[in-house]
């Protein structure tokens, strides 16, 4: 239940955070097939959101996850398909009491007495990728993924490779009928596919005379990801090489429904040659439903495929129609999820992996154990706090589970009381030996090495040359990877030394005189870079493009920044939080001190930015890279950024705060913000009472609504262009 002491403001803030978090995890799961959290953790977020919305119905957001299904398919190479009938998701239950509540709700809604018959179908819920098959006049004419429920991806050519899916239906089938189900991969096929990918990587490494690093071989995390990745291929020959299966569980648009009950129609779909659940059963009571759930659960480990629960559906179709839908799910159906399967094993070691942003992630290496039909050898330990909570050390006996049947996690430390020293989380990066720190209020420990850390270096270099940073044309990701592997690029300064390698670059496959000269010319053009872009390109945590510009407005000369960062570091060391201070008062004092030191009054400059600068420049490695690149005096580095000057003009928005929202059609968002600054305005990222003007393009959402509520002036992009033109 939602905390009874929660205020409306606190509830609104939590709903905002939940909407953003759930949207992100929806995108990772549905659009990228790369979940970061377990099904249980995701369901807990959704439940918390539902609890808050039930208590504060007037705070339900336009972007509430209770209104959404799946995730939009933007960025996919496949063409889009609009579903004639929306593909819905299902509400979940985890306890038998919740199933009983579901049955009771259905009875109340239909005004059925306790003695009146009410039947439900029950079938195992296979864990795959939702797919809709549209048949017209008996011919398969289109197949599409669910996407966000309204728009999916066209995978017609790919499902033609799946033997379970007939290309034609028998005579007598409706003129139009959409079969809906799941594309999945069996466990043995999944393991074989990952084995094949590993072998292909080994052969490629041998051909290059290199040692294979198994950790760098791209493999699928689980059968669902393998199925999704295989079906959503632009090249259908790749799909054809993957052993995919299909399982029907319902239907969408239909010119005629061949039956009066769920059970009858599913039987008919099976007769047409489409696989349906062998455990589909008609249940006439709650007791039968729960008994079937327990029976399927007991046998799930012996199945050749992954299931994660049982789905109940009201059998009579006329009652389904009366019950209808709520937001994203039908009232007449429920998914009863299984608890995660567990097993015992030994934690043999704890390894620390360093991500591209410097995050240190502990990974437990396990004695191999079979969990839910899959051999588990690794388990994420998440972060330093999670290790402390579990009290795990190498040598401990632990209980693990595949949460949501996907991501292995430690449930319990069975030998916590054994006489062994506690595990000490590293205080320095295992890759570059820079200091590893956790920012105040965060649980993640990060390497401060940044520019010199091997685990982060190539990603930092790619960011350094990206469009928002130095924007060096011709130096793309593949080129950086190639030059880094050759030992030519170790730090940003090395980019400006590539002119000495002209002949070596020319000797590489694919490079010609013109392409090499164009690249070197692009690099030379950035030897006097815009200081704010240069600062942003260094990838210092919390220093984004806008923050970099705010910092340079105050400092003017970028060479002053290391000294200012040292002052912040010294102030933080000499002025710790006093016993009489609350955390809020301490932070407020620190913010004022940081702004005074940095000579900037921008709203976005606070403790996060100040401490990030202090930590970055406190590292000898980072200072060495900085001086190599820029130098302490003009002309001392390989680049020579001029003083940062913000040219402003008299304009109708001088001194005002402007926010841009929606899709800008004639310029990028960065260009718009730069225009605002040149006109003497402040470009902000969110709407507040301090906002003077909102420039709204197509697709404007919550910011436009808030501006209307606050009475803020709103103009379109054309009107903004007139303001810019008038200032010329």
Catalytic residue numbers, as ranges? 125
Pairwise CA distance, residues 376 & 353, whole Å: 18
Cα–Cα distance list, 403 to 139, 176, 228, 446 (Å): 40, 40, 19, 26
Q: Are 276 and 309 spatial neighbours (Cβ–Cβ below 8 Å)?
A: no
- Sequence-ordered list of residues with C-beta below 8 angstroms from that of 547, at least 6 positions apart, any chain: 536, 602, 604, 605, 609
Pairwise CA distance, residues 656 & 654, whole Å: 6
What is the DSSP pairing of strand 325-326 with strand 129-136? unpaired
What is the DSSP pairing of strand 176-184 with strand 245-254? antiparallel
Q: How many residues does the chain have?
A: 728
Pairwise CA distance, residues 220 & 543, whole Å: 34
Kindly state the DSSP code that residue 452 receives in the 8-state scheme.
Answer: G
Is residue 7 classed as helix, strand or coil in its secondary structure? Answer: coil
Q: Between vectors from CA 538 to CA 537 and to CA 541, what angle results, nearest 5°?
A: 105
Task: Please say whether the dihedral angle defined by the alpha carbons of residues 198, 204, 207 and 209, taken in this order, is positive or negative.
Answer: negative
Is residue 211 classed as helix, strand or coil in its secondary structure? Answer: coil
The separation between the first and the last C-alpha atoms of the chain, rounded to the nearest angstrom, is 58
Across the chain, which distance is largest between two alpha carbons, in Å?
Answer: 90
Is residue 366 classed as helix, strand or coil in its secondary structure? Answer: strand
Pairwise CA distance, residues 466 & 537, whole Å: 8
Kindly state the DSSP code that residue 311 receives in the 8-state scheme.
Answer: E
Pairwise CA distance, residues 504 & 487, whole Å: 12
DSSP of 641-672: PPPP-------TTTT-EEEEES--SSS-HHHH
Pairwise CA distance, residues 83 & 133, whole Å: 11
């Amino acid at each position: 239940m939602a905390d009874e002491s929660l205020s409306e403001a606190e509830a609104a803030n939590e709903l905002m955070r939940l909407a953003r978090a759930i949207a992100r995890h929806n995108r990772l799961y549905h659009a990228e097939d790369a979940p970061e959290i377990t099904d249980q953790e995701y369901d807990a977020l959704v439940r918390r959101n539902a609890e808050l919305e039930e208590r504060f119905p007037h705070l339900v957001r336009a972007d509430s996850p209770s209104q959404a299904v799946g995730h939009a398919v933007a960025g996919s190479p496949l063409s889009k398909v609009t579903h004639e009938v929306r593909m819905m998701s299902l509400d979940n239950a985890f306890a038998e009491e919740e199933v009983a509540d579901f049955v009771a709700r259905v009875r109340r809604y239909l005004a059925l007495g306790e003695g009146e018959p009410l039947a439900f179908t029950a079938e195992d819920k296979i864990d795959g990728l939702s797919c809709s098959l549209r048949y017209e006049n008996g011919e398969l004419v289109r197949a599409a993924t669910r996407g966000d429920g309204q728009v999916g991806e066209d995978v017609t050519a790919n499902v033609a490779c799946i033997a379970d899916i007939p290309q034609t239906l028998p005579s007598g089938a409706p003129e139009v009928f959409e079969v809906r189900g799941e594309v999945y991969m069996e466990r043995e096929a999944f393991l074989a596919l990952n084995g094949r990918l590993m072998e292909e990587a080994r052969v490629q490494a041998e051909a290059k005379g290199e040692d294979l690093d198994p950790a760098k071989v791209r493999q699928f995390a689980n059968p669902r990801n393998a199925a999704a990745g295989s079906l959503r291929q632009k090249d259908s020959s790749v799909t054809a090489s993957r052993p995919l299966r299909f399982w029907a569980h319902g239907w969408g648009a239909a010119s005629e429904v061949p039956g009066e009950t769920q059970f009858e129609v599913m039987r008919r779909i099976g007769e047409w040659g489409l696989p349906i659940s062998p455990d589909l059963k008609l249940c006439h009571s709650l007791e039968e439903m729960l008994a079937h759930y327990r029976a399927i659960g007991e046998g799930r480990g012996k199945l050749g495929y992954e299931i994660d629960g049982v789905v109940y559906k009201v059998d009579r179709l006329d009652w389904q129609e009366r019950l209808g839908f709520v937001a994203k799910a039908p009232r007449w159906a429920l998914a009863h999820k299984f608890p995660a399967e567990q097993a015992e094993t030994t934690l043999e070691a704890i390894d620390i992996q360093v991500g591209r942003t410097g995050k240190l992630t502990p990974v437990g290496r396990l004695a191999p154990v079979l969990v839910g039909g899959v051999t588990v050898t690794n388990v994420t330990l998440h972060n330093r706090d999670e290790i402390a909570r579990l009290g795990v050390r190498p040598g401990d006996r632990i209980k693990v589970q595949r949460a949501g049947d996907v991501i292995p996690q430690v449930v319990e430390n069975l030998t916590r009381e054994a006489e062994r020293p506690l595990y000490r989380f590293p205080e320095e990066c295992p890759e570059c030996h820079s200091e590893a720190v956790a920012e105040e209020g965060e649980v993640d420990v990060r390497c401060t090495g940044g520019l010199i850390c091997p685990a982060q270096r190539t990603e930092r270099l790619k960011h350094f040359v990206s469009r928002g940073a130095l924007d060096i044309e011709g130096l793309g990701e593949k080129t950086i990877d190639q030059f880094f592997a050759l030992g030519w690029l170790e730090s940003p300064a090395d980019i400006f030394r590539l002119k000495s390698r002209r002949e070596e670059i020319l000797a590489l496959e694919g490079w010609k005189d013109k392409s090499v000269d164009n690249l070197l010319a692009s690099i030379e053009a950035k030897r006097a870079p815009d200081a704010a872009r240069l600062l942003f390109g260094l990838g210092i945590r919390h220093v984004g493009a806008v923050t970099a510009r705010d910092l340079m407005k105050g400092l003017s000369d970028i060479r002053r920044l290391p000294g200012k960062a040292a002052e912040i570091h010294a102030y933080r060391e000499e002025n710790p939080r006093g016993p009489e201070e609350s955390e809020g008062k301490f932070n407020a004092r620190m913010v004022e001190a940081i702004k005074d030191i940095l000579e900037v009054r921008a709203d976005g400059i606070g403790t996060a930015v100040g401490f990030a600068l202090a930590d970055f420049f406190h590292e000898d490695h980072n200072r060495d890279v900085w001086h190599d690149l820029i130098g302490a005096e003009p002309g001392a580095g390989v680049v020579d950024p001029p003083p940062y000057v913000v040219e402003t003009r008299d304009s109708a928005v001088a001194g005002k705060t402007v926010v841009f929202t929606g899709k800008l059609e004639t310029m990028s968002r960065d260009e718009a913000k730069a225009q605002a600054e040149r006109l003497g305005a402040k470009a902000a990222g969110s709407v507040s009472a301090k906002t003077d003007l909102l420039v709204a393009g197509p697709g404007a959402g919550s910011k436009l609504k808030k501006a209307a509520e606050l009475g803020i002036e709103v103009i379109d992009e054309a009107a903004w262009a007139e303001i810019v033109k008038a200032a010329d």
